[in-house]
A and B are shown apart, each in its own frame.
Chain A
Amino acid sequence: MAEPVVTVQGQRQAGEGLIFWLSGFVLLVGLPLLNVLPDPDSWLHVSDFALNRFGKFLCFAILALGLDLIWGYTGILSLGHGVFFGFGAYAIGMHLMLTIGTESVYGSALPDFMVWNQVKELPLFWKPFYSFGVALAGAVLVPTLFAFIFGFLAFRSRIKGVYFAIITQALALCAWLVFNRNETNLGGTNGLTDFKQILGFRLSEPGTQRALYILTVLFLGAAYAVCRWIIRSRAGRVLVAIRDSEQRVLFSGYSPANYKLFVFVVSAALAGLAGALYVPQVGIITPAQIGVLPSLEMVIWVAVGGRGTLVGAALGAVGVNWARSVLTNYFPELWPFFLGGLFIAVVLLFPDGLVGLFTRVREKWLASGLWVRKSPASSEHNG
């Protein structure tokens, strides 16, 4: 049974590896160089704004990788990943709020929104976030821990399929409601914003943003490597098996719940990491970015790119967000139509996403005989 799978994966591995190194080089070296070197008027020049925006998309790509692990490979649809993203983002955001210090509008050591809300003293749970290390650890550990508890309860009682999707959606709704409240001292509807510096570097400096961008690319590469390692491992095979027939996995003596919990926690950690990288680059985090709709949009990134392929997930995140920033700029009223249409089209017309579309087109081409090469095995997986 394992034999054909390996050959298919082997072929795809070569293609994916090439894409990985090529795009890694472009993202890591090419774009920053184009940002620094050419004359600002040259058509080759990548503006600070464009680079920064691209950094944001790459954060989403990290999240999409995690989401692809759990949905594309394991078949569990989580509609609550915005929450984990939010935990990571708020953890770093809180640290950045505290480093503003007395530079804030009201000149108080407390964050501005606390001054508005007449909070006299810094709440206890804010205090550890004075330290950058704690904030960074919290950005990953809080979502991890939360996902562990939530996933433990959910998977233990064999909540799955649409039930899991609905429960996670309710989680997103609840988190949105709670983060919106003023008395939770997380900035309410306005969220956390107006950051000034990170580790002593001014966030308004292009250099700082460039460094953050490079950091994001590095983390994206690392996340990709980890995800690839997971799906290549034995555990990864079990994950795919769970997607295809959980009953059979159970009867073969594996415990699907543990594998599902593992992959859920990993993807939550990646979402937290994405949030942590997102905040200093974008400069604001509000509850509106972690609610029900943003969580669903994340799923659509993966679906559009092609679930079940890591490259597809990352590609989808960048592509959809790029389309969003273009469309909302020129036709703000059309964006919901476009997004809704994308949801429908991706499900009905190209269920394997852009990558699947590409593969199908290539296969047709190969079958037509114009391209003389040994035909690869058809139908890579039945997602």
Chain B
Amino acid sequence: MKVALGIMLLGTASLLGAGQAIAAEGPRASTAAPPLSLIDRALADLSSGDQARQDAAANVLIEQGDSSLLPKLEEIRNNADRSVRLAIKPLMDLLKNRSNLASPDADRRRSAAADLGSSGRPVVMPWLEAALAGEPNRWVRYTLEESLALIRLASDDPDTKIKAAAKLGELRSSNAVPALKELLQQTGTDATDQQKALANAARAAIGQIDIWASWANAFETIFRGISLSSILLIMSLGLAIVFGLMGVINMAHGELMMIGAYATFVTQECFRAYFPAGLFDYYFIAAMPIAFCVVALCGLILEATVIRFLYGRPLETMLATWGVSLVLIQAARVYFGDLTSVVAPSWLSGGAQVMVGVYLPYNRIFIIVLSILCVAGIYFLLFRTGVGLRVRAVMQNRDMSSCLGIPTRKVDAYTFAFGSGLAGLAGCALTLIGNVEPGLGQNYIVDSFMVVVTGGVGKLMGTIVASLGIGGLNKFLEPSFGAVYGKVLILVLVILFLQRRPSGLFTIKGRHADA
């Protein structure tokens, strides 16, 4: 019977039929199709002034009604006075959630199940059981079971309660902790054996849940660390090319990221204005190459107008590019205003639940994947192509490369543009996790320079390891020290680290005179 029910629920979503079938199981209804007059009478009773009749009507409606009643209820609600409105609201919620249990969208099914569970009404149990029988999605099933157990935990029968507590413990349900703790507190010293057994079950369940929660917490901390590392990495990669490889210290790097973020924003606005609505979700795919190219172009201009005069004078470069960054920030502020944000495409919003209590947002996963792809791409470009060979040759020995006929000026310009383009890509990725604002680049620039300094100049591997290290350490220290002192501690650690290895993690081996 239950299987048949589930198939009906899912396959045809014939709500009326399902409602009737459940009603048929219920104790009161004796016929398969409830007399329509019963529901009509209940609807009429709802707006009667009599409290008892209202309650009875509500019960009838909950047990026998379905979502087809919602418009009628809405109408009654709009015309009724406050007390009736208050009475109808939970009724409507229940019915709405009940129909949502059959929704094709798993997230809606899940939140409906959670809502029904927290309603605490035993009457919803058959609905949940019916939904559970036919539910294909693991996490919806989990929530259904959790809700059932939560309702059972509130029942009067001690045996059911003990079983429910054990079940919740098995489920590692963190939602159940308050209810379980309450149970424990209610158990006084003069408790009966049954009560003691219940208390023991609750205690065991809480223990199970707590242990699980700490694991889940550790797992999430690790994920957050990796996520921050990937953000740092994607920002530092451009720097690793520009600063690490070319030795140019570009303080406007953060502002190049900011331009990338605004390029994404403008792309989004263009899609909104000039493209059909169905394509809107794909704007981000277009925005990535656009951001890369726009910022690479900015990089070319910056190289031609400022940087090329300052090769070999890092301190001067630093000051001049800081000036550029001030101008760019103010220009963005004047043109775009203070704060805008990008709507993440729907395929990047939400997240994946990998285990109970651990929820990984898609945008973070996307950035991790993107940063890995970038690293792979850069490695390929630098070490497997002729262009990369030239770049490396110029960076290692400019004069010799020039003698061998490599156009060093051009290589410089293109390398700088490529590093800038990576910054643009980073800015594009940053729009997924934060606002787009003129000061966007400033927030991360010191961090990413620390990454490059710690990693050592001239080695990509150093940048990767250092960003993983600093990002991971940051998230590891944050819970115990707070964000600010975590940062201070990292600075201290970096300084102490540089005591041991003054030129960073990975250095070019050889007898380089440090001039």
Contacts and interface: CB of A to CB of B under 8 A. Distances in A.
16 contacts: A157-B499, A165-B318, A167-B453, A170-B449, A173-B446, A292-B446, A300-B319, A337-B326, A337-B330, A339-B326, A340-B322, A340-B324, A340-B330, A341-B327, A347-B310, A347-B316
Interface stretch (A85-93, A174-182, A317-325, A371-379): A174-182
A138 B378 CA distance: 51
Contacts of B491: 167, 170-171, 174
- Pairs A-B, 9 closest by C-beta atoms: A343-B323, A340-B326, A340-B327, A336-B330, A347-B320, A344-B323, A340-B323, A162-B314, A157-B499
Interface string B22-46: 0000000000000000000000000
A171 B495 CA distance: 10
Given A165-B318, A333-B330, A336-B326, A153 B450 contact: no
The majority secondary structure among interface residues of chain B is helix
Contacts, number: 115
Interface string B299-319: 000000010011000111111
B269 to A, nearest CB: 24
Nearest to A177: B484
A300 B485 CA distance: 30
B323 A303 contact: no
- Listed residue (B315, B502, B513) with the most chain A CB atoms within 10 angstroms of its CB: B315
B323 A156 contact: no
A163 B504 CA distance: 10
A296 B449 CA distance: 16
Given A77-B315, A174-B491, A177-B484, A247 B446 contact: no
B329 interface: yes
Interface of A: 75, 77, 150, 153-154, 156-159, 161-163, 165-167, 169-171, 173-174, 177-178, 180-181, 247, 292, 296, 299-300, 303, 333, 336-337, 339-348, 351
A1 B330 CA distance: 49
B325 interface: yes
- Listed residue (B323, B325, B513) with the most chain A CB atoms within 10 angstroms of its CB: B323
Contacts of A153: 495-496, 499
Given A77-B315, A173-B446, A341 B453 contact: no
A303 B322 CA distance: 13
Nearest to A345: B323
A178 B323 contact: no
A346 B318 CA distance: 12
A347 B314 contact: no
Contacts of A165: 315, 318
A174 B487 contact: yes
Given A174-B487, A340-B325, A342-B323, A159 B249 contact: no
B404 interface: no
Contacts of A150: 495
B273 interface: no
Given A166-B453, A167-B453, A292-B446, A339 B488 contact: no
Given A292-B446, A343-B320, A156 B499 contact: yes
Nearest to B504: A163
Contacts of B309: 348
Given A337-B331, A348-B320, 20 more contacts: A157-B500, A157-B502, A161-B314, A162-B318, A166-B446, A166-B450, A166-B453, A167-B453, A169-B449, A170-B494, A173-B487, A177-B487, A177-B488, A292-B446, A336-B327, A340-B327, A343-B319, A347-B316, A347-B319, A348-B310
A174 B495 contact: no
Contacts of A346: 319
A346 B495 CA distance: 31
Interface string B271-284: 00000000000000
Nearest to B492: A174
Contacts of A170: 446, 449-450, 491, 494
Nearest to B327: A340
A162 B499 contact: no
B318 A157 contact: no
